[in-house]
Amino acid sequence: MLGKLLQQFFPPKDCTKGQGILLVITGPSGVGKDTSKELFLKKNPGFHKIVTDTNRVPRPGETEGVTHNFYSDEQFKQRIKENKYIEYIEVRPGEYKGTSKEAISCILGGQNVIWQVDEYAMAHIRDIIRENMPEMAQSILEKTVTVYIAPEDWDQLREQYFHRDPCASEEKFLIKLARDREMWWQYHDRYDYVVINKREKLNDTVAAIEKLVAKKAETLAHTQITAPAVAY
């Protein structure tokens, strides 16, 4: 259904109108963001995920342009100097990861993009876009929809946490859980929508996200879009 709506409102061949959608998703670790994103992409080939840049060496099984865009340390730092990134972080000493402005601005050329970020970045996503891409911020934000994927209950995160790290201590989990809850209570009013990912109901989660994207597409189809002043 969503594919037909996107073709109706944003024909693939008509990229000059700048009618893409930026879907931003977040949620606590273990809630199912990655799985939801991959299923969404599988069901909606009209969308593509943002591929982040990194300066680390590819790991076994990783593919250039799919897992990450791999740069040398010198290249990555040069890109920082050239103001290529809307955001970047030092994951660990000497290892960087960043999202290029080009990956975001492509929605102004008609591409539909899904961007997975952490809770803090989601809470400040509009400020991040305004501060780092001021010339086209309004146009991008008009086409942005943010979705927080929430657990059915917090015990759901406990199960996933220990499934991923069976050797983890209860104390470590409680610290992480406290952080997740704090992020939720502090920033939950900044998200456009909240979708609850119920146990064994992943298809329902993705279907809910599809409806929200379709709603945004329909709204944009009946709205005068602001043209960006500059394109990266």
Q: Across the 232 residues of the chain, what is the mean pLDDT of every consecutive 10-residue run?
A: 51 48 94 95 96 96 96 97 96 96 95 95 96 96 96 83 80 86 91 94 97 94 56 34
Both tokens of 100, joined, read 């290029």
Q: Are 80 and 88 in contact (CB under 8 A)?
A: yes
User: CATH fold of 2-11+19-219, please?
Assistant: Rossmann fold (3.40.50)
Virtual torsion, Cα 206, 211, 213, 214, nearest 10 deg:
140
Q: What is the pLDDT of residue 27?
A: 94
Q: What is the pLDDT of residue 147?
A: 97
CA distances from 121 to 21, 56, 217 (A): 18, 22, 24
Q: Which residue has the tokens 């920082």?
A: 80
Strands of 69-70's sheet in order across: 69-70, 53-54, 95-100, 85-92
The single-letter DSSP state of residue 111 is: -
Q: What is the pLDDT of residue 121?
A: 93
163-166 contacts, C-beta under 8 A, 24 or more apart:
164/30
Closest CA to 103 of 81, 88, 124: 88
Q: What is the pLDDT of residue 224?
A: 55
Virtual torsion, Cα 223, 228, 229, 232, nearest 10 deg:
180
53-54 and 95-100 beta bridge pairing? antiparallel
Straight-line distance from the first to the last Cα atom of the chain, in angstroms, rounded to the nearest whole number: 32
